[in-house]
Chain A
C-alpha cells in the first residue's frame, strides 16, 4: 500500500523567509510518480510539479525548488523568499505507474497549511 506523510500540519512564516515543506512517502513500487499541489483559500487544486522516481535531479522553478531523495523516500518542497500569496495548503501526492485497470490513482498526504504573514 502507498502512503504519504506530511508531518507539518501548519507552518507560519514572515514574508521573505524561506520555508521547506516536508514529504515522506512509502511504496513498494520501483517506479512511481510524485506530485505537489497547491490549494489556495479559494479551494481549487493547482498542479505544481510531477517527478518520476527514476529522475533524481532536483528542480527549480522561480522561487520554488524540489529536493527528491530516493534513499530517504522524501520529496521536499522549498519556497524561497516567501510571499503572502504563497499562503495555501500544499499537498504532496504519490501515484503508481498508470495501468489500464487503475489509471493514476493519487495517494495524497494530509496537507501542510502554510501561512505567510506580511
Chain B
C-alpha cells in the first residue's frame, strides 16, 4: 500500500530552465494538493486539483507556475524559467474524504535547488 510518491527527491536547475515535479497520489485518492515550503518557513498552499480539473489555484504564483492532474498518470507541477527564489521544498498531498472530513497524506517532497 504505497503512500504518496513524489519524484524526483532532489532537483537541481539553473536559472531559466524548467522544473517538472511529479506526484502520484495514494491508491484510491482523487484529490491532490501542492504545497511549497520556503527555507525556514511553514508550508504554504499552492493548488488543489481533482482528476483533469484545477479546482483552486489561489496560492499559485501568477506567472511561470502551472499544475495538472491528468486522467492517467501523475500530477505535475511545472515551473518555467526558474529563478533562485523558487528554491524550496515542494510537497504533494493526496486525500480521500470520509464522514469526518478530509485527511491529507503528504509525499516526501521534492527539494528544488536553483543555481
Contacts and interface: CB of A to CB of B under 8 A. Distances in A.
Given A91-B42, A103-B31, A111-B42, A47 B103 contact: yes
Interface residues of A, number: 28
Q: Which of B43, B55, B56, B97 has the most CB of A within 10 A?
A: B43
A93 B101 CA distance: 15
Contacts of B107: 44
B104 A47 contact: yes
Given A103-B33, A108-B43, A47 B101 contact: no
B13 to A, nearest CB: 19
Interface string A56-98: 0000000000000000000000000000000000010101011
Contacts of A42: 108
Interface of B: 31, 33, 35, 41-45, 48, 55-56, 59, 89, 91, 93, 95, 97, 100-109, 111
Interface of A: 33, 35, 37, 42-47, 50, 52, 91, 93, 95, 97-98, 100-111
